[in-house]
């Protein structure tokens, strides 16, 4: 099932949505940004969900949406940074597609997320929150099929390297299965 969806995972501000769009365009696939779709379906923003119902409720909605997306037609899926925290989500992504992790250093992430109020987990001292969460999640994205360091690269370059990693992985599988 590695030849189905492509899931982009990674910490907040690593460029999953921008790269996802470039990747979908390159492949001629559909693109879905999970945070955006969740907000549209719920008719409420993510900060509002966190404020009104708390993070556990958001995680439930996120996991349910992932299950539905996994069953849909092939697409490039940009996930929320915390989707990897649940083992069931990790398993589902691994079994329904190719998982690409995007990496960026703390300074780049801080620069990207600083002006954006849409991330409830980064409210307050952004520098401190990012450093702490990066430490807490330092191995959370390790299960990916490939990992791409995004620093100094354009979305198109990152998308192209994900395509190359995926093709190599798919060739490797069919090779070993032959
Ligand atoms: C979260 C990341 C956000 C969003 C929510 C929680 C996280 O998505 O899902 O605020 O726990 O890392 P982005 O990674 O797109 O910012």
List pLDDT tens digits, range 141-163.
Answer: 999 999 999 989 999 999 999 99
The three-class DSSP label of residue 148 is strand
pTM, 2 dp: 0.95
More reliable by pLDDT, 32 or 175: 32
* Residue 2: pLDDT band with limits 50, 70, 90: confident
173 CA distance to ligand 1 middle (Å) = 32
Per-residue pLDDT, 1: 82
Q: What pLDDT shows up at residue 147?
A: 98
Q: Strands 97-103 and 5-10: what pairing?
A: parallel
pLDDT tens string 82-104: 999 999 999 999 999 999 999 99
Burial of 139 (0-12, 13-18, 19+ CB in 10 A): exposed
- Residue for token digits 């995004």? 150
Please give the distance, rounded to the nearest whole angstrom, from the Cα atom of residue 12 to the centre of ligand 1. Answer: 6
Phi then psi dihedrals of residue 125, to 5 deg: -80, 100
How many A from CA of 49 to the centre of ligand 1? Answer: 12
Instruction: Check residue 25 and give its pLDDT.
Output: 98
Tens digit of pLDDT for each residue in 44-57?
999 999 999 999 99
Binding pocket residue ranges, ligand 1, CB within 6 Å = 12, 16, 35, 46, 80-82, 119-121
Instruction: Tell me the best of 8, 80, 129 to mutate to test the pocket of ligand 1, counting ligand atoms within 8 Å of each CB and taking the most.
Output: 80
**Confidence grade of residue 178 (pLDDT, cut at 50, 70, 90):** very low
> How many Å apart are CA 149 and CA 129, to the nearest integer?
21
Q: How far apart are the first and last CA of the chain?
A: 16
pLDDT at 174: 56
Q: Does the pLDDT at position 175 exceed 60? A: no
Measured in Å, residue 36 CA sits from the centre of ligand 1 at: 11
Q: Which letter does DSSP use for residue 98 in this model?
A: E
Distance set, CA 142 to CA 1, 9, 44, 101, 147 (Å): 19, 10, 32, 8, 8
Task: Give the ligand 1 atom nearest the CA of 14.
Answer: 14
Determine the pLDDT at residue 72: 97
- Give the mean model confidence (pLDDT) for residues 9-20: 97
Identify the pLDDT of residue 136.
97
Mutate to test the pocket of ligand 1, among 34, 121, 124, 150 (most ligand atoms within 8 A of CB): 121
What sign has the CA pseudo-torsion 53, 76, 105, 166?
positive
Those residues whose C-beta lies under 8 Å from the C-beta of residue 43, and which sit 6 or more positions away, are: none
CA–CA gap between residue 58 and residue 45 (Å, rounded): 11
Residue 176 has pLDDT above 50, yes or no: no
């Amino acid at each position: 099932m590695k030849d189905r969806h492509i899931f982009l995972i990674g910490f907040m501000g690593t460029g999953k949505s921008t790269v996802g769009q470039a990747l979908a365009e390159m492949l001629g696939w559909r693109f879905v940004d999970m945070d955006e779709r969740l907000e549209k379906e719920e008719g409420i923003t993510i900060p509002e969900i966190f404020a009104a119902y708390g993070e556990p409720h958001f995680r439930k909605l996120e996991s349910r949406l992932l299950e539905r997306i996994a069953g849909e037609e092939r697409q490039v899926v940009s996930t929320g940074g915390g989707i990897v925290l649940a083992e069931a989500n990790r398993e589902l992504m691994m079994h329904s597609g190719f998982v690409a992790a995007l990496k960026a250093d703390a300074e780049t992430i801080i620069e990207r997320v600083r002006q954006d109020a849409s991330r409830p987990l980064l409210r307050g001292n952004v520098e401190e929150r990012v450093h702490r969460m990066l430490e807490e999640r330092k191995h959370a994205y390790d299960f990916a099929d490939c990992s791409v360091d995004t620093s100094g690269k354009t979305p198109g370059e990152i998308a192209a390297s994900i395509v190359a990693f995926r093709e190599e992985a798919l060739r490797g599988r069919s090779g070993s299965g032959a």
